[in-house]
Amino acid sequence: MQEKNAPARLLVDTRIFGGRVTGVGRYLSNLLREIHLLEPSDLKLHALCSPGQDLPCKIPKIEMHGVGAHSKPLGLMQQFVLPRAVRNAQCDLFHYPYFDPPRITSCPFIATCYDIEPLRHPELFPRRIVWYYKALAPRLRAAERVVVISQNTGKDLIELLGVHPDRVKVVYLGVDPHFHPIREEDRVDAVRLRYGLPSRYLLYLGNTMPHKNLVRLVQAMAIVHKRFPSVPLLLAGRKDKYRPAVEQAIVVANLSETIRFIGDIAEEDLPALLSSAAVFVYPSLYEGFGLPVLEAMACGAPVVTSNRSSLPEIVGNAAISVDPYDVSALAEAITHLLANPAGARRYSVLGPERAKEFTWRRCAEEHLAVYREVLNR
């Protein structure tokens, strides 16, 4: 444990790294990198890893061994193996970056909660997922602090789980610096050629889970198509099990030639893809933060999004926000930007300025403040 005047030992669960990059992985990699660069003299950062696991930056690793050493977060196995691993690490503070913390008693811990949507909208999720949240999310009440990525998520924790308001700390995510307007025509043209894109298009980026509200977006496109038949909607992202419902909606709306899936997009191609979109559309019913919206704004894409959950606090006045349940309002917002180049350009200017307020450096500094607040109690 901590010696007198020695830096406090901070242990962060990093077992998510490896394989597919997730939103949590992006958050953690940027957080760890920035804390490492800040070099806090009062904290010594360590990463809890599975055996042989690689990390995105060079920080000391503490590997789990024994039964469950290769277990990933968000599973019942960790409820039994993680407390032992934390105890063996002999740390002064443990950061568990998920909503389902095990019973940690060997040291104080903080957790990160991105959202508890299955509790707010159980109708949108399988029963097993809702059960898991109901069973384990209440353990957030045991954390010394719960970092949330929006005021909306904090409000949900207080209302639905009874987490004490003093323990909830809002820390916004950041935008990677490579998300910025791409004006070089050759770079934009190369991306268009690579993915077979037209010169003018609407864009959605993400999965097709029910809360993303893509069926209503398809219905809105039936209205938009009547006025702008030559402007397609491109749906970018990995194929998942929810896509058939969206594909069926496209067939019913007779828009198979207007709406198409373009698959997963390489990270290095995203800025050009976003920069050249006529409108970025993200009509989600619920978001813990809405990072794709912020990245689109950073690239200068005019954005139409939802006026629900965290999205209004993230976009401010730099995007058009509408009721995601109102198909006509969604269609009207899209056609307004397509028909008014001056209005679209206004949001192309406001978006990058708004995005500059969200940095990973500030995210790391505010995390450090939370760590110190707990350690100094």
pLDDT at position 332 is 98
Contact between 98 and 84 (Cβ < 8 Å): no
Which regions in the chain score pLDDT beneath 50? none
For the domain made up of 185-355, give the CATH fold: Rossmann fold (3.40.50)
Q: b/e string for 191-228 if b means 16 or more Cβ within 10 A? A: bbeeeebeeebbbbbbebbebbbbbbbbbbbbbbbeeb
Contact 45, 32 (CB under 8 A): yes
Q: Which residues 6+ apart lie within 8 Å of 320 measured at CB?
A: 302, 303, 304, 305, 333, 336, 337, 347
How far, in Å, CA of 201 to CA of 210, rounded?
Answer: 23
Give pLDDT, residue 24: 86
Task: For residue 112, give the nearest of 169, 57, 30 by alpha carbon.
Answer: 169
CA 272 to chain centre: 20
d(CA 126, CA 132): 10
Look up the pTM and report it.
0.92
Query: Tell me: the pLDDT tens digits for 22-74?
Result: 778 889 999 999 999 999 999 999 999 988 888 877 889 999 887 777 777 77
* pLDDT at res. 317: 97
- pLDDT at site 18: 67
> Measured between alpha carbons, how far is 11 from 16 in angstroms, rounded to an integer?
14
Short-list 231, 195, 235, 198, CA closest to 213: 235
Is-contact 293 175, C-beta < 8 A?
no
CATH class entry, domain 8-174+359-375: alpha beta
| All CATH 3.40.50.2000 domain ranges in the chain, comma separated | 8-174+359-375, 185-355
